[in-house]
A and B are shown apart, each in its own frame.
Chain A
Amino acid sequence: MIEAQHLTKRYGTTTAVNDLSFRITPGQVTGFLGPNGAGKTTTMRMIIGLDRPTGGSVTVNGKPYRDLAAPITEVGALLDAKAVHGGRSARNHLRVIAASNGIPESRVEEVLRIVGLHDVASRRAGAYSLGMGQRLGIAAALVGDPGILMFDEPVNGLDPEGIVWVRTLMRSLAAEGRTVLVSSHLMSEMALTADHLIVIGRGQLIADAGVQEFLSRDSAQSVLVRSRDDERLAQQITGAGGTVVPAVAGGLQVTGITSGTVGELALAAGIVVEELVPQRASLEEVFMEMTKDSLDYATGEVA
């Protein structure tokens, strides 16, 4: 359980995190979403005591991180996979971490196997590929077998196989009853991994909801239909109470009635339907819509 209350972080006149309150609960994957620069990493740094909040507080299992007696047995974090001394082997890197909290060396071999680095564990971490480095970072988070896990952009730079592996790992960690917090600026990734979403923009909370709830909340349901006689079908739809606008790539964009009703209307009027697609706003679109006011560097129109 991670709990933030009115968490605020200012650097000079810049406010990175502004009055953020949330609660991250066990047994599910919580996605931490926001555009780059939204304050995700700063928030995670405050959770594990690297940065001190300017205001408010954040606790893990009811205590400030710095007061935990054996911190990595309660919270494991991957913030920056490149944060490794390049001259040290992966195994020794993990031994350093294990020793600091009195964890036996056998656990190091265990996590090396879990992340699939066992055969290359004696190599210098500096010679690792991006993907291997990411696995090492995940191994480091798992050393203490903690009940809370936190990953900052874990799939960055991974190949498709690695992405599926991370996704599966997150889900199984949550299924074991652990608290899993994963940050990303990629909505599509979160859609596949998370059960719950916390969305921030410019350091402020924008949404805190389940993924399904998130989707249904803002998305106007619509139907795309293409037929042999769009003009006549449009009349039928309008007559049945639907709203019709021409779709960008041809066909009709229908709102107000379901795809089933559109099909029935077409059948009754004897119009051949070539395409009939119910459209849900993608998580991506909802996200863009929600965060467009909070982008630090919104892109302008190209003249």
Chain B
Amino acid sequence: MSTTTDPSPVAPTQRRDPAPARPATFGDAVRSEWIKLTSVRSTWITLLVALVLGVGFGTLISYLSGSHYATGGFVRHATWDPTSVSFRAIVIAQLAIAVLGVLVVTSEYGTGMNRVSLAVTPRRTRFLLSKALVFTAVALVVGEVMAFAAFLAGQAVIGLNAPNTTLGAPDVLRAVIGAGLYLAAIGLLASAIGALVRNTAAGISAIVALLFVLPGVVQALPSSWSNPITEFWPTQAGSQIFTVVRSAHTLAAWSGFGVLVLFTALVLFAADVALRRRDA
């Protein structure tokens, strides 16, 4: 019935003086995010899947396109763009990058890790930007590796049956480097969307809608509507950066990529505002 408390309260002694802590920096947050990204197996698996899709599937598409070149007729030959043919599978590989981009943010919300992250880095813009920077850098490296590998392998197999191109041809190097840049931008966009919606399913749905579903819906509209929409649709405009032969109703390479970057920056800004306002 009776409850007793500790009869001998410990006399407070002075704690040994802790070494004066230096202020935490943006670089510390980046290092922390780097450890986060590289210490889960799913990161490596997803990146490997992206590479296999982009390079392996890309080479297959390149070979098939090349072998059908001879039967393509005049129009096909006039718009023949061996560079962008070798990047066709990037359309598929980008999905793996985008999913990972969403996950690097939303997996924290799914596990509750976000509360640990925001407790150790209470400056929320710093948290978001360090995460975005680390993932974008990783996506860029993987994207460039994929772009060069898909291009070189693709040109090799296209050359068996059709005219191919080289890195020295006009605009080709820009397109190859651009393909990697495009993948990095898609990854960053996906992360920003993830930070905005804070939920894996919603984030992946949103990026899939942006990349595939809505552009498909737009195609069903009369061309007087669909052409200008497609021209400025962020992800489609962005893909101009890895196109060498420009078709009608498309933006120039860097203008198109600029649209994607601008859109990504807007979403990232919105995510930052939301992150700073909302409770963790």
- Residues of chain A whose beta carbon lies under 8 Å from any beta carbon of chain B: 26-28, 45, 48-52, 65-66, 68-74, 77, 79-80, 82-89, 92, 95-97, 99-102, 140, 144-145, 147, 171-172, 174-178, 188, 191-195, 211-212, 215, 277-280, 282-284
Contact = CB atoms under 8 A, between A and B. Distances in A.
A99 B115 contact: no
A104 B169 CA distance: 50
A95 B118 contact: no
Contacts, number: 152
Interface residues of B, number: 47
A69 B123 CA distance: 10
Contact of A195 (B9, B14, B24, B25): B9
Interface stretch (B36-44, B50-58, B138-146, B210-218): B36-44
B21 to A, nearest CB: 4
Contacts of A51: 279-280
A83 B35 contact: no
Interface in B172-215: none
B119 interface: yes
Contacts of B170: none
Contacts of A66: 122-123
A171 B22 contact: no
B278 to A, nearest CB: 9
Contact of B279 (A45, A145, A191, A215): A45
Contacts of A174: 10, 12
Main secondary structure of the interface of B (DSSP, over half): loop
Interface stretch (B106-114, B223-231, B241-249, B255-263): B106-114
A280 B3 contact: yes
A68 B120 CA distance: 10
Interface in B32-81: 32, 34-36, 39-42
Given A70-B24, A71-B24, A84-B113, A284 B3 contact: yes
Given A51-B280, A192-B6, A88 B40 contact: yes
B12 A177 contact: yes
Nearest to A143: B120
Given A70-B23, A282-B1, A99 B32 contact: yes
B217 to A, nearest CB: 36
Given A45-B279, A73-B18, A97-B116, A211 B29 contact: no
B21 A144 contact: yes
The winner among A27, A51, A85 for most chain B CB atoms within 10 A is A85
B7 to A, nearest CB: 10
A66 B119 CA distance: 9
Contacts of B6: 171, 192-193
B121 interface: yes
23 contacts: A50-B279, A51-B279, A51-B280, A69-B23, A70-B21, A70-B22, A71-B121, A74-B21, A83-B111, A83-B115, A85-B113, A87-B41, A89-B39, A97-B116, A100-B29, A100-B120, A101-B21, A175-B12, A176-B15, A177-B15, A215-B5, A277-B1, A280-B2
B12 A26 contact: yes
B111 A85 contact: yes
Nearest to A70: B21
A223 B123 CA distance: 58
Contact of B1 (A72, A96, A193, A279): A279
Contacts of B120: 71-72, 97, 100-101
A48 B279 CA distance: 11
Nearest to A178: B15
Contacts of B31: 99-100
A95 B111 CA distance: 18
Contact of B28 (A101, A172, A278): A101
Contacts of B41: 87
Given A72-B120, A79-B115, A97-B120, A88 B15 contact: no
A278 B12 CA distance: 32
Given A50-B280, A147-B15, A175-B11, A68 B2 contact: no
